A and B are shown apart, each in its own frame.
Chain A
């Protein structure tokens, strides 16, 4: 059974919107509610939407499983390397070595309500993006494997 034209057109339109919204949540994690995990999960729903609207075979044509595995490994490596750099700088594991240093994401933030500037919070945005990519990859790999398991794929 496959979906009607309307659903497929809607899916085509909605998928980019989901991607943009998901990355918004990931990147603004330290300013608004959200963060790496929530944003990654939102983006993963975009792939589920494509699977529901189109068939599993079409999904396999568009995305290779290895691409998601690479995304996952990249996200995790970026996360642990960002934490390990603090070790290199003589502080402890997971020290926020970019906060309040004025560089990228380094603008100091005074206490109290403020409209929220993107260029703050040291390593937190980097870790947010790393975890967002990792969760995006992980959820999609789980989706692909379970679909292959249910559909018997090309076993």
Chain B
């Protein structure tokens, strides 16, 4: 049984949540608790499969899984002359790393929403769409096929939009869902046009094969620009970040936590296109600088828009945009020096590792912050900072989790945010000092705005109208506890986490040759 799970891990990683999502509405019609138990079971099994997949990938290198072949590794049929025919998953260290973080946050969100959604209607649809959102993220993260990436991008957008529009009674959430679905679909269509351009030139949809044949003609440049635009839009990078504040603030808080991971899957898609599909064949210096500029813009505009916000979740949404800027900065610096071995060894590698480490850190502490915001919303019924106060007396645990999240996002030493930000500061400083200084200023502004939020929400006298309700129920605390423990754990042992998880992931992205060799079985045409 165990080796069956390990041999078929990528297929099970997708099939389990899909099967769970298809059965949830059917079970929901008969018994409420049966459906809840089913969803928790499915999300736990997905977590187990994701860890098994990560274990296999980290021990034996890239896992190539072909759908429909007689045996998983038969990516290239013998008589096809070195051309991948079927869809194949090329799960390397980076993909497994993202799948692992997505499944952890997914499991925490399922536990959290057991009680945060209990009194609301339409729970069948809610849980099925949550599982489908997970399917979208896993698909985008593991696939080695461009059209497959588009299909899972669509599942991601539709499931996310439907969940953002969950609270239909006020109409504002539906408008946010409409804006999110509209922009994501337009981005998806542009991505598909780029895939069409690449298909017309190379007659293949496999990332590794196209990368081995890439001649970077003019249509390829257009395809690159369109892909960067579509995937940056999905990740909420500044010029196209209009949907992020609305979608994150109007969605139920448990959904916002998983939406952060969904937009990071978009960011992962961007890195996969930049490093594995194009890599050194494009002039990586200019593209690297474009990514750096996008990162700086995201950082700066995200924080400056966050300071004046009154709504706690909209403030955190803008911080999510600014934190995405950090990841882009780290990876952009590495991209800018991709071909230059000496600079890469000096700071490119650490910049990349800092950027990737920041992805999982951000998923953890931003998810934690949104879950605490949800707990506060459940307790007070409002998200307006001016109407809250003195919650510290009655919500001890939520206050503790909020402190952990706020200090982590501001990059205070004992927490995970500091570890990845330090790596980014060091390497970016060696690249060009001004960028690093901007990054530090933004980090200080982040701390300032979160101190303001902490003061507005938890300090001050006990408010009379929040008298009755005590602490939030235990499943919500369990969800938050999972993320808090990981945030602290990654903060205390950063070096071990970097060596085990992050360095192989960074290597997997950086050397494109290994990726192509592992998929095409060394037969580079």
Give me the interface of A with B, judged by CB distance under 8 Å.
66, 69-70, 73, 76-77, 80, 83-84, 86-87, 91-96
Say whether A93 contacts B68, CB under 8 Å: yes
Per a CB cutoff under 8 Å, which of B11, B66, B69 touches A87? B11
* Most-contacted residue by chain B among A76, A91, A92, A95 (CB, 10 A): A92
- With both chains docked as a complex, state the minimum distance between the C-beta of A81 and any C-beta of chain B, in angstroms: 9
Contacts of B8 in A (CB 8 A): 87, 92-93
Known: A73-B25, A73-B26. A92 touches B11 (CB 8 A): yes
Cα distance A70–B28 in the bound complex, in angstroms: 12
14 A-B pairs within 8 Å (CB atoms) are namely A73-B26, A80-B15, A80-B18, A84-B19, A92-B67, A92-B68, A92-B69, A92-B70, A92-B72, A93-B8, A93-B11, A93-B14, A94-B67, A95-B69
Residues of B within 8 A of A73 (CB): 22-23, 25-26
Q: Which residue of B lies closest to A77 (CB)?
A: B22
CB atoms of B22 and A84 under 8 A apart:
no
Q: Are B22 and A76 in contact (CB under 8 A)?
A: yes
Structural contact, A92 and B66, CB atoms closer than 8 A: yes
6 new A-B contacts, CB < 8 A, other than A80-B22, A86-B68, A93-B68, are A69-B25, A73-B25, A87-B12, A87-B15, A91-B69, A95-B70
Point out the residue from A69, A84, A95 that lies within 8 Å of B68, measured CB to CB. A95
Instruction: Indicate whether B278 reaches chain A with its CB closer than 8 angstroms.
Output: no
The verdict on B71 contacting chain A, using a C-beta distance below 8 Å, is yes
A-B contacts, CB under 8 A, total: 47
Q: Which chain B residue shows the least CB distance to A81?
A: B19
Counting CB contacts under 8 A, is B65 at the interface? Answer: yes
Known: A69-B25, A87-B8. A94 touches B68 (CB 8 A): yes
Once the chains are docked, how many angstroms separate the CA of A70 from the CA of B29? 11
Please provide the chain B residues from 1 to 43 with a CB less than 8 Å away from any CB of chain A in the complex.
8, 11-12, 14-15, 18-19, 22-23, 25-26, 29
Residues in A whose Cβ lies below 8 Å from that of B69: 91-92, 95
User: In whole angstroms, what is the CA distance A96 to B14 when docked?
Assistant: 19
* Interface membership of chain B positions 43-84, coded 1 if the CB is closer than 8 angstroms to chain A and 0 otherwise: 000000000000000000000011111111000000000000
CB nearest neighbor in B for A73: B26
For the complex, what is the distance from the CA of A87 to the CA of B11, rounded to whole Å?
9
Contact indicator A91/B70 (Cβ below 8 Å): yes
Q: Give chain B nearest CB distance to A80 CB in angstroms.
A: 6
Is B25 in contact with A93, judged by CB distance below 8 angstroms?
no
Report the minimal beta-carbon distance from A127 to chain B, rounded to whole angstroms. 12
Q: Which one of B22, B67, B69 has the highest number of Cβ atoms from chain A below 10 Å of its Cβ?
A: B22
Which chain A residues border B70 with CB–CB below 8 Å?
91-92, 95
User: Which residues of B sit under 8 angstroms from A96, Cβ to Cβ?
Assistant: 68
Bound Cα distance A86, B68 (Å) = 8
A46–B65 Cα distance when bound, in Å, is 41
Closest Cβ–Cβ distance, residue B38 to chain A (whole Å): 14
- A139 → chain B closest CB, angstroms: 16
Contacts of A93 in B (CB 8 A): 8, 11, 14-15, 67-68
List the B side residues contacting A95 at CB < 8 Å: 68-70
Q: Which A residues touch B18, using CB under 8 A?
A: 80
| Cα of A66 to Cα of B124 in the assembled complex, Å | 14
Q: What is the CA–CA distance of A77 and B11 in the complex, to the nearest angstrom?
A: 16
How far, in whole Å, are A87 and B14 apart by their CA atoms in the complex? 13
Closest to B21 in A: A76
Q: Which residue of A lies closest to B74 (CB)?
A: A92
